[in-house]
Each structure stands twice: as C-alpha cells, then as structure tokens.
Chains A and B, each alone.
Chain A
C-alpha cells in the first residue's frame, strides 16, 4: 500500500490540531501578559483598544505539536478591520488555503498557508490573518 500524499497528511494534521471555531474572551490579564512580555506599560489599557496584534494570541492550540518532521513559522499577515476591547468575545475560525511542495536545503519541504477570521460578539469581522508554516523532514 502506498503512503498517503504528505501534503494531504500535513493539511489533515493541521486541521485536527486547530479544530473548529474557538470563542475566547479578551481578558484583561491576558492583555497584561501580552504587554508585559514586550516590556510595555500596562497603565494605558483602560478604555483603550487592545494592541491590534493581540489577535495573534487568540484561538491558539498548545498541543499536540507536529507528530513528525520539523516546522517553523515562515510568515504572518494581519488585516485589522475594527478595534478589539477587553471584554469582547472573539470567535476564531481557521481554514487551510493550500499546502504546496517546495525544494529547500533540507530536501522536499511543504508550505502550508492557513487563514483565520476573527469575529466579535456582534458578529462583526474585526480582522483576518494568514500564517505560512514550513514543514520538512516528513
């Protein structure tokens, strides 16, 4: 029996990892952690939108990590449509747009392109993101 197409396995593994849409509260403590990790003062949080790139902390999955081979983040794109505030409920929906084979120093590699949509509690889309993940050693 021939082995399944690695691109399809990578796509399936990624989708299994991120799962379906995830709804998260924008908690003040998490915004504070974000700012403190950047050595940024936290005293200007009250009534202000959270930093736009706080979106990157939402809908993340700690485990499992890739089952085999290696993975690195090759790039990120964000588009911000509306401000996000502490207390908002943001639903993150992810999809895989493509998995393309590439040739690199380590031989055959795969570039996975995934998109996320961020929607608030009023059903307004507040942003989009894309991530490019490079996989090799499959």
Chain B
C-alpha cells in the first residue's frame, strides 16, 4: 500500500506480466468491452490491413495498466486520470509486461498528494507499444489511521 509520504520519484510499481495473450483472451475482451471489431480475431481482416496477425486490443492494454495501478494501490488512494497512446502493435501470442514508475509528486497542504505515474506496456524485447501517464491521489500516513 503506497503512502504519499513514502514515495520518491523513480520508484517502480511492481510489474504485471501477461501472456502469452491468446485468441481466447482477445475474444473474452471483445465480450468484456462490448466491442467486436473483427481485426482482433479474424486474420483476414488483419491481412487486408497489412497487419501480420491479430493485434491485442489497445483498450485491453489500457485495462491492464489500470490493473497494475489498482494492484499497487490495494484499496488506498484513487486513480484520477489516465492517458495512453498506442504506438505499436502487440500481436496474439505476445508476452507483455505492464510497468509504471513515479514521475512526479505534488503534495497538498493536508499531507495528501498527487503522484504522476509514467506507465507503459512492453513486449519481450522491452519495446514499448503503449505509453502514457496516470494521475493518482494518495493519502498520507496519518490519513490511513
């Protein structure tokens, strides 16, 4: 459980490893997000778009970043905002790792504070396909007593 007073810029969140991400994961995510864009489960659509396989949904990677943060917060603090850009594709079968690092800390007068977390998804070669940042509101030690 992170407390604002304990955080330092550069602190890393415990990484979240996923994969291999299978066709079943992609179809389950279609159902979960209620969007069945066939690019994510039909190679014919991917081939027509000159993509060499069915890509993992960007929103799935976004949700995994949300999972990384909620695991780290463990019920304390809250996610205020998140912004991500999908810069590359991760195809079905990929092993991906979701990471975050504290990039900035802004204290409030009451001892609580905001943390800006740089977040990204990387593949097995540590190439970042998704990058962004999240803003977290965190309590101080006294606020959790």
Q: Which residues of A approach B to under 8 Å, CB–CB?
A: 30, 33-34, 36-40, 51-53, 56-57, 60-63, 65, 70-80, 83, 132
Contact = CB atoms under 8 A, between A and B. Distances in A.
> Chain A at the B interface: mostly helix, strand, loop or mixed?
mixed
Contacts of A39: 18
Interface string B47-71: 0110000000111101110110010
B34 to A, nearest CB: 4
Given A36-B28, A53-B62, A56-B59, A65 B38 contact: yes
In this complex, the interface size class of chain B, counting residues with CB under 8 Å from chain A, is: 35 or more
Nearest to B59: A56
Contacts of B37: 65, 71
A60 B33 contact: yes
Interface stretch (B4-12, B82-90, B99-107): B82-90
A61 B35 CA distance: 7
A75 B81 contact: no
B48 to A, nearest CB: 8
A62 to B, nearest CB: 5
Q: Which of B32, B36, B39, B60 has the most CB of A within 10 A?
A: B32
A31 B32 CA distance: 8
A77 to B, nearest CB: 4
Contact of B86 (A37, A57, A60, A73): A73
A76 B58 contact: yes
A52 B79 contact: yes
Contacts of B145: none
A40 B35 contact: no
A133 B132 CA distance: 16
Contacts of A37: 25, 28-29, 31-32, 60, 63
B58 A33 contact: no
A80 B78 contact: yes
Given A38-B63, A73-B57, A75-B86, 12 more contacts: A30-B34, A33-B32, A37-B25, A38-B64, A73-B58, A76-B58, A77-B82, A77-B84, A78-B82, A80-B78, A80-B80, A83-B78
Nearest to B35: A60
B115 to A, nearest CB: 15
Given A34-B32, A77-B83, A80-B81, A56 B62 contact: yes
Given A37-B29, A62-B34, A79 B58 contact: no
